[in-house]
Chain A
């Protein structure tokens, strides 16, 4: 499986966020998207998830399920945790597992893996920001999807949870999955490709055609 973007241009609110962006991610590879604020890291991830339309350019997925669109291949972990405060931890995860197409038992395993098994019957309103993030991460395990799009996944996670997430990512890569991570800091993986967003634009500015 290979995800390729070519000549991508993103315009948001009349402002050009990036232009002529190209990248390739192979199965078993992780691509870390870096750059200063406003460089378009989140926009790129949302674009792959099908939540932002590219102004120009193409996104292609080779060897994917031909019946499904790219956005139906992805796990999108955005800035928001998509949790309902009045539902319990288990109900929250169970709902996303069922909606995104996963099984019930895996949800329990996922809850245990992120250290929330003991809190399963608790309404999500009682969770701290870090615990909410863990619950969002549990989604990645509860449902199998080949492409992971993680937007600042380590923000609000403590060291232990960051280790759990890094282990999850390694396992996903070992299972021939793809990962795109937008991040400011280290994500705990070795040997990953990097895509610098701000650089590319400044390069274009310094070397005019």
Chain B
């Protein structure tokens, strides 16, 4: 337990120190969302209708952006070798790493989403709904991304491949995340149904992500 705690605290520290890049994801989110109206036009009604989709896409891309740091840096400097010799199950170790990663990259996206909702002319209720669905859905993005990060860990330029591997897997999360937000704003579907499925997707990925990542890492040993 102390071992996992140490890993958790160390990953949090690394993320907030110089070069950690914890806030790069939020910055990317901000830029992507700001770019959208330039393409769509400043029609506030249209922006408000598309708001949840824009925010979800932005959050999806932003959380993807940071994924290649999740395991690759530990692989490059030999830390991963030592983590493998620790007396903790690899599944738990990568789960803890993913959790720390979500706290430093996913959670800031959730927190900043209401602010960006303001730019897209979302009402307070709509912003709240998007933030709630992001809170429920972004852990799934991180834990699905964990699998991709484990698969591409040994590759020199794994970042792009990682995106290609992970993006199709995130489609269900995107569908139900946006659906739940829209349901809360306009209906006609009740909010509960898609939100329940979104939560279920997150729970499933919380279980499958670490297991699959551990398998991928062990298989990748040569």
Q: Say if the two chains contact directly (CB < 8 Å).
A: yes
Residues of B near A87 (CB, < 8 A) are 10, 13-14, 17
B78 contacts partner chain A, Cβ-Cβ < 8 Å = yes
Chain B interfacial residues counted at CB < 8 A:
27
CA distance A79 to B86 in the complex (A): 18
CA distance A99 to B41 in the complex (A): 52
Q: Identify B222's interface contact among A12, A72, A79, A99, CB under 8 A.
A: A12
* Closest chain B CB from A122 CB (angstroms): 14
A196 contacts partner chain B, Cβ-Cβ < 8 Å = no
A189 contacts partner chain B, Cβ-Cβ < 8 Å = no
Q: Identify A51's interface contact among B76, B77, B79, B221, CB under 8 A.
A: B221
Does the CB pair A100–B85 fall under 8 Å? yes
B115 contacts partner chain A, Cβ-Cβ < 8 Å = no
* Given A87-B17, A98-B2, CB of A80 within 8 Å of CB of B78: yes
Does the CB pair A82–B79 fall under 8 Å? yes
Number of A-B contacts (CB under 8 A): 85
Residues of A near B6 (CB, < 8 A) are 94-95, 98-99
CA distance A74 to B85 in the complex (A): 7
Chain A interfacial residues counted at CB < 8 A:
32
CA distance A84 to B17 in the complex (A): 11
* Given A74-B85, A86-B18, A99-B6, CB of A79 within 8 Å of CB of B221: no
* Closest chain B CB from A34 CB (angstroms): 22
Does the CB pair B86–A51 fall under 8 Å? no
Residues of A near B221 (CB, < 8 A) are 50-53
Does the CB pair A101–B78 fall under 8 Å? no
Does the CB pair A68–B87 fall under 8 Å? yes
Does the CB pair B78–A81 fall under 8 Å? yes
Residues of A near B14 (CB, < 8 A) are 84, 86-87
Kindly report which residue of chain B lies nearest to residue A78, judged by CB atoms: B78
* Given A79-B78, A80-B78, A86-B17, CB of A50 within 8 Å of CB of B84: yes
Kindly report which residue of chain A lies nearest to residue B85, judged by CB atoms: A71
Does the CB pair B5–A98 fall under 8 Å? yes
CA distance A94 to B5 in the complex (A): 12
Q: Per-position contact with B for A30-57: 1 when CB-CB < 8 Å, else 0?
A: 0000000000000000100111110000
Residues of B near A118 (CB, < 8 A) are none
A169 contacts partner chain B, Cβ-Cβ < 8 Å = no
Does the CB pair A13–B222 fall under 8 Å? yes
Residues of B near A68 (CB, < 8 A) are 87
Kindly report which residue of chain B lies nearest to residue A85, judged by CB atoms: B19
B61 contacts partner chain A, Cβ-Cβ < 8 Å = no
Residues of A near B19 (CB, < 8 A) are 85-86
* Closest chain A CB from B78 CB (angstroms): 3
A108 contacts partner chain B, Cβ-Cβ < 8 Å = no
CA distance A41 to B5 in the complex (A): 34
CA distance A91 to B7 in the complex (A): 11
Interface residues of B in 24-70 (CB under 8 A from A): none
CA distance A82 to B13 in the complex (A): 16
A18 contacts partner chain B, Cβ-Cβ < 8 Å = no
Does the CB pair B78–A84 fall under 8 Å? no
Q: Per-position contact with A for B78-104: 1 when CB-CB < 8 Å, else 0?
A: 110111111110000000000000000
Q: Identify B13's interface contact among A13, A46, A91, CB under 8 A.
A: A91
Residues of B near A79 (CB, < 8 A) are 78
Which 5 pairs, one residue from A and one from B, show the smallest C-beta to C-beta distance? A80-B78, A98-B6, A86-B17, A82-B78, A82-B79
Ordered by A's residue number, 6 sampled pairs between the chains whose C-beta atoms are within 8 Å are: A12-B222, A50-B221, A51-B81, A80-B77, A95-B7, A100-B87
